[in-house]
């Protein structure tokens, strides 16, 4: 019987099991966005996952949103990520990189002095963001000029190329949580009057073109997409997310993406939406445990399930789930500190 511990395939990526590590910002990169030695330890420890989806990583200096998040922009960052992928591969694991342009969800204090905060429209997100000086309101973004949108799409393409140069097995577009793709999709943040705004067809165009650009590097069967229709995080305002994402999935379906990563964090039945409008592999995320994950695979046709919080505290999660062993508790106060504690010091099960 197929279950969490059966092999699987996402596009061209062969998985030893269906227990995936979800992408999670952990704020352990250097100030210049270079991955650090503790990040190498963290990912290497979790290489028994069928697939690691590494944390959201900015494709350009303008795309950075939070302090101590990694980039995939320059050779120093590429080389450091390459050390991480080598360590994961040496342990028999697979790893893809989530590419995350935060758009308007940022503050100038978290960016390079020469970087800007850009978005579809000059509308600030309602809320605050952490900086090293404390919580501050999101910065007012500058609306992207029409000719600049092609440049941003090129940044995603180049970041994909850089990811493969670092020997990642694939890439994932971060399309949720109120970041740039979600900002183009949502009429609350996209009030453009050109070909990327206004009608639903225009609002889905940016995500479509980004995915095509990313797929042009080594093929669409190494590219995934993460979405969460109806998720209001970071001031996403869409009066009809069902309609928006039906149109988006119908548009991208012919591409043959490696997988669709569905996050359960809204009133919508995101699985039903994905199952109806996306015919490729589905990865489910959102509060699953051993039994509910196996049920999702066996009864709902999910290809794999990604685990977030439980993977933070349990580097040997696959073994613990397979043997139904107790799980370590997460030390929440250490989630985003710049320390080994609460990051790469969680123990494996010792009996």
Enzyme catalytic residues: 179
Residues 291, 282: Cα–Cα separation, whole Å: 18
Check: CB of residue 55 under 8 Å from CB of residue 48: no
Length of the chain: 351
Q: Which of 218, 205, 208 has its CA nearest to residue 12?
A: 218
Query: Which residues neighbour 24 within 8 Å (Cβ) at sequence distance 6 or greater?
Result: 55, 308, 311, 312
Q: What region does 181 belong to: left with phi over 0, alpha with psi -120 to 50, or beta?
A: alpha
| Cα dist from 229 to 186, 233, 244, whole Å | 10, 11, 8
Residue bearing tokens 């995915």 = 211
Q: Return the bridge partners of 307, or none.
A: 21
What 141-148 contacts at long range (C-beta under 8 Å, 24+ apart), as own/partner pairs, is 141/103, 141/104, 141/117, 142/116, 142/117, 142/118, 143/118, 143/119, 143/192, 144/118, 144/119, 144/120, 146/194, 146/195, 146/196, 148/118
Cα separation, 79 vs 96, in Å, equals 15
Distance, CA of 249 to chain centre: 17
């Amino acid at each position: 019987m197929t279950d969490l511990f059966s092999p699987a395939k996402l596009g061209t990526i062969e998985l030893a099991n269906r227990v995936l590590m979800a992408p999670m910002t952990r704020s352990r990169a250097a100030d210049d966005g270079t991955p650090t030695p503790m990040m190498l330890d963290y990912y290497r420890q979790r290489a028994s996952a069928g697939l690691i989806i590494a944390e959201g990583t900015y494709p350009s200096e303008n795309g950075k949103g939070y302090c101590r998040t990694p980039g995939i922009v320059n050779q120093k960052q590429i080389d450091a990520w390459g050390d991480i992928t080598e360590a994961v591969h040496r342990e028999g694991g697979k790893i893809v990189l989530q590419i995350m342009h935060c758009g308007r969800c940022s503050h100038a204090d978290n960016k390079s002095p020469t970087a800007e905060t850009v978005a579809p429209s000059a509308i600030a997100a309602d809320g605050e963001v952490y900086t090293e000086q404390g919580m501050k309101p999101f910065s007012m973004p500058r609306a992207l000029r029409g000719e600049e949108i092609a440049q941003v799409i090129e940044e995603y393409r180049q970041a994909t190329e850089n990811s493969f140069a670092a020997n990642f097995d694939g890439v994932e577009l971060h399309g949720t949580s109120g970041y740039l793709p979600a900002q183009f999709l949502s009429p609350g943040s996209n009030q453009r009057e050109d070909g990327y705004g206004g009608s639903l067809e225009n609002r889905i165009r940016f995500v479509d073109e980004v995915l095509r650009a990313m797929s042009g590097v080594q093929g669409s069967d190494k590219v995934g997409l993460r979405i969460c229709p109806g998720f209001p995080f970071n001031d996403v305002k869409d009066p009809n997310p069902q309609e928006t994402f039906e149109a988006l999935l119908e548009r991208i379906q012919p591409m043959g993406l490696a997988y669709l990563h569905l996050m359960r964090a809204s009133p919508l039945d995101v699985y039903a939406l994905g199952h109806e409008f996306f015919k490729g592999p589905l990865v489910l995320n959102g509060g699953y445990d051993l039994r509910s994950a196996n049920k999702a695979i066996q009864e709902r046709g999910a290809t794999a399930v990604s685990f977030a919080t439980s993977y933070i505290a349990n580097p040997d999660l696959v073994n613990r789930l397979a043997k139904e062993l107790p799980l370590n508790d997460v030390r929440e106060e250490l989630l985003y500190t710049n320390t080994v504690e609460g990051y790469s010091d969680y123990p494996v099960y010792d009996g």
